[in-house]
Amino acid sequence: MPVLDYEACWYSLKAEIQGKRSHGAKDLAEAMARIEVENRLDESQAGFDDRPPARLKAVITPPSDDGAESFAAPA
């Protein structure tokens, strides 16, 4: 399966739809195929995410194994 820039595809499709008053199923399918081909990425970019890594706002500790659950706020 090809690697696609789905965000770019989505915006291109929205622009295509907005640019024309009405669309037939064939016209829309052709536009979608064209947009898909235009937005193919190299296989090396599969899974690439240029966003900064997520940061935890709090330290999460797993529950203890003694079975007692504590719902008190940490001190």
More confident residue, 47 or 69: 47
- pTM to 2 decimal places: 0.49
Cα dihedral across residues 67, 71, 72, 75: positive or negative: positive
**CA 45/CA 42 separation, integer angstroms:** 6
Contacts of 72 (CB under 8 A, 6+ apart): none
**17-34 pLDDT per residue, tens:** 888 888 888 888 899 999
pLDDT for position 22 = 84
Do 19 and 1 form a contact (C-beta atoms < 8 A)? no
Quick check: 70 pLDDT over 60? Answer: no
Per-residue confidence (pLDDT) for residue 34, from 0 to 100: 92
Q: What is the pLDDT of residue 50?
A: 67
